[in-house]
Amino acid sequence: MKGERKMLHTVNKSPYERNTLESCLRLAKAGSAILLIEDGVYAAIAGSAAADQVAARTDDFTFHVLGPDIEARGLADKQLIDGVAVVDYTGFVELVAEYDAVQSWL
């Protein structure tokens, strides 16, 4: 028998410009994975205003952040929130393959 369905959610907007992350956190089911990409990666930086939103939900979700997008924005030296795993493009593809469906929060 098939186990419970699990989804991957991607967030690509800055939490300071849009409510995309907030909506994702409200509507993703516990047990989902959340991957921060493009401007979404700003939410993964420890000590930022958005960090609390992510840090408060690390029990509900497994958080990932796309390393190349961190590096592109000059954030490679910044500390990330505990519990957020950095993945590369291969890791991105593996996540997509691992989960049953993907919702792109735009």
- In angstroms, give the least distance from the CB of 30 to another protein: 9
Q: Which is nearer to another protein, 26 or 77 (CB)?
A: 26
Query: CA torsion sign, 24 to 30 to 36 to 37?
Result: negative
- In angstroms, give the least distance from the CB of 101 to another protein: 5
CA angle, residues 51, 55, 58, in degrees to nearest 5 = 145
- In angstroms, give the least distance from the CB of 47 to another protein: 28
As a whole number of Å, the CA-based R_g of the chain is 13
Q: What residues line the site for another protein (CB under 8 A)?
A: 5-7, 19, 23, 26-29, 32, 100-106
